[in-house]
Amino acid sequence: MNKKGFTLMELLAAIVIIGVVLMIVYPEISKISKKNSDDLYKSYENMMVEYAMVSQLKNNTIIKLSELEELVQIKKECKGYVTINHNVTPNEFKAYIRCGDKYKTTGYDTTKE
pTM for the full predicted model:
0.66
How does the average pLDDT of the chain come out, rounded?
86
* H-state helical runs in 1-113: 8-54, 72-77
Domain borders along the chain are 8-112
- Average pLDDT, integer, range 94-109: 89
pLDDT band at 6 (very low <50, low <70, confident <90, very high): confident
pLDDT of residue 85: 87
Number of residues in the chain: 113
12 has pLDDT over 60: yes
Grade residue 2 by pLDDT with cuts at 50, 70 and 90. Answer: low
